[in-house]
């Protein structure tokens, strides 16, 4: 692949939609840059279309016919005179061929170089690359997909159970299956391959040891073209369901609660080393699994801006989208590692259109009313407003609610208040889930891992399910005792058959005569 050094640019095309498109447009406005939106038929009246300087249609609602069409997006870039493209996250953001196509058209790609995307986009290659650089990785094994059943069974035995089958391409939990016993392996393997093939066009998978009771912690990195690479602290991303993140916070209560382990510095230095192993430039995220003893292992690298980037912005005071643009213009990072300070605590709740009381079933329809919370330390990143439709074509995210406080307890209290003020009508949302989660004593105490939501949490708000029989027995005993106590009492009828107040009143009237 060939690369070129981008020069200054004045017009940015956003090859994305929804909340992230609005986020990028706002950053460009503050920098005095013109913006170009591309939209599908389903997004004709969307907020990001109205916010952009210019907007162009690129096809039907289905993403494969619009937002995933590189040729259409590049054609709009040339027709509109855009000299840079920001891919956001999802869609084409981690497609090396798209980054290379931009460079070939002399259009700045606001992201990493194609070679870096290509290397880190294949999980097997990424593991081998960072391992060679001295980065610890989860024990696992690459697979020859031409092998027979005996080969796969032997490979699984070598890795050990429980294990994960993971697709080499893509992310978001697609093509991933947990296997606890060897008799589950072949069915899970075939299922993961089918899903990976459908989602990414590539059915190759590999095996990885499952680190039980682990936390999912990621490190935000930034790198420029002048050899400067820094990390911006960690994000706690362990609150997940089916490998999809639901809530994130920075800093991690586990990392901050174990200062003697010096985890932040150690993980940050390893993240920088992993990024430098592929000559990384721009914003990226190194994801780790951390066990209860503080041992951490490289999971993967996301070669793009993360959905949860606002919590890092809130505690560092840096605008990551502006830094991306700054780097793509060939400038140095605005801060050095010594200037990065973590101040306060930030929490992000993903507000999705889904029903938490019905197994998080997606909810579609028109938003008939919306009232967003505000006030000190509250930020709402959204690409929707009243009258907009939630369609089945795209991710169901409505907004990201971010709250900051000087301490974690203050951030939690502020988030509780903000959630109680949030009003969205017309579709089901995940707001009740977040409200119930913030009432969980285990979550409030920071006692959770990646399996917490699925194994030790319920929408009833009772996360001490193992004590329910004991509590029920105590309540039944108390109720029976109360019934027996009342039955033993004899209540005699008042001889006067009248209240004392009435009796005194009659006595006073009789004394007057």
Query: What are the residue numbers of the active site?
Result: 304
Q: Return the structure tokens found at 202.
A: 């590539």
DSSP assignment letter at 89: S
Cα–Cα distance measured from residue 88 to residue 304, given in angstroms and rounded to the nearest whole number: 7
CB atoms within 10 A of CB 393: 17
Task: Give the position of tokens 């000559």.
Answer: 279
Cα–Cα distance measured from residue 246 to residue 453, given in angstroms and rounded to the nearest whole number: 10
Q: How far from chain centre, in Å, is Cα 149? A: 36
Looking from the CA of 37 toward its CB, the CA atoms found within 13 Å total 26
Task: Give the position of tokens 């299922």.
Answer: 191
C-alpha separations of 434 from 46, 236, 248, 371, 380 in Å: 26, 16, 11, 17, 15
Task: Answer whether 205's CB lies under 8 Å from 179's CB.
Answer: no
Partner residues linked to 138 by β-bridges = none
Long-range contacts of 55-64 (CB under 8 A, 24+ apart): 56/80, 61/391, 61/393, 62/393, 63/91, 63/393, 63/394
Cα–Cα distance measured from residue 235 to residue 247, given in angstroms and rounded to the nearest whole number: 10
| DSSP string covering 147-205 | --HHHHHHHHHHH-SSEEEEESS--TTTT-EEESSGGGHHHHHHHHHHHHHHHHS---E
């Amino acid at each position: 692949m060939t690369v070129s050094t981008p020069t200054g640019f004045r017009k940015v095309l956003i090859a994305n939609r929804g909340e992230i498109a609005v986020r990028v447009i706002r950053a460009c406005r503050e920098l005095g840059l013109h913006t170009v939106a591309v939209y599908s038929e389903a997004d004709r009246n969307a907020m990001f279309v109205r916010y952009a300087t210019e907007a162009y249609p690129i096809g039907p609602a289905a993403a494969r016919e619009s937002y995933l069409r590189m040729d259409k997006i590049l054609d709009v870039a040339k027709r509109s005179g855009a000299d840079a493209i920001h891919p956001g996250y999802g869609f084409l953001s981690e497609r090396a061929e798209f980054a290379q196509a931009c460079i070939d058209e002399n259009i700045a790609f606001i992201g990493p170089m194609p070679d870096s995307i290509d290397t880190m986009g294949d999980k097997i290659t990424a593991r081998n690359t960072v391992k060679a650089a001295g980065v610890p990785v989860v024990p696992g094994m690459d697979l020859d997909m031409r092998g027979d059943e005996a080969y796969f069974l032997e490979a699984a035995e070598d890795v050990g159970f429980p294990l994960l089958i993971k697709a080499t391409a893509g992310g978001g939990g697609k093509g991933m299956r947990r296997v606890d016993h060897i008799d589950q392996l072949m069915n899970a393997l075939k299922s993961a391959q089918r899903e990976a093939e459908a989602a990414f066009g590539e059915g190759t998978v590999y095996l990885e040891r499952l680190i039980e009771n682990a936390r999912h912690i990621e490190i935000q990195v930034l790198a420029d073209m002048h050899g400067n690479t820094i990390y911006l602290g960690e994000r706690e991303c362990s609150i997940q369901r089916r490998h999809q993140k639901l809530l994130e916070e920075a800093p991690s209560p586990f990392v901050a609660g174990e200062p003697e382990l010096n985890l932040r510095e150690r993980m940050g230095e390893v993240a920088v080393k992993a990024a430098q192993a592929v000559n990384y430039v721009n914003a990226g995220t190194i994801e780790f699994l951390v066990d209860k003893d503080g041992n951490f292992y490289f999971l993967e690298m996301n070669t793009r801006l993360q959905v949860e980037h606002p919590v890092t912005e809130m505690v560092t005071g840096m605008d990551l989208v502006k830094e991306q643009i700054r780097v793509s213009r060939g400038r140095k990072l605005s801060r050095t590692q010594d200037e990065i300070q973590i101040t306060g605590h930030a929490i992000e709740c993903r507000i999705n259109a889904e029903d938490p009381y019905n197994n998080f079933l997606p909810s579609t329809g028109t938003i008939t009313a919306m009232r967003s919370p505000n006030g000190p330390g509250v930020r709402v990143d959204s690409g929707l407003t009243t009258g907009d439709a939630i369609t089945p074509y795209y991710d169901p995210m409505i907004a990201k609610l971010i709250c900051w406080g000087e301490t974690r307890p203050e951030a939690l209290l502020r988030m509780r208040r903000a959630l109680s003020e949030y009003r969205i009508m017309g579709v089901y949302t995940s707001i009740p889930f977040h409200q119930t989660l913030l009432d969980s004593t285990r979550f409030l105490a920071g006692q959770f891992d990646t399996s917490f939501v699925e194994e030790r949490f319920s929408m009833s708000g009772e996360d001490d399910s193992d004590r329910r029989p004991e509590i029920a027995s105590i309540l039944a005993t108390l109720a029976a005792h109360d019934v027996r106590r009342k039955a033993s009492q004899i209540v005699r009828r008042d001889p006067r058959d009248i209240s004392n107040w009435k009796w005194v009143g009659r006595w006073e009237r009789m004394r007057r005569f």
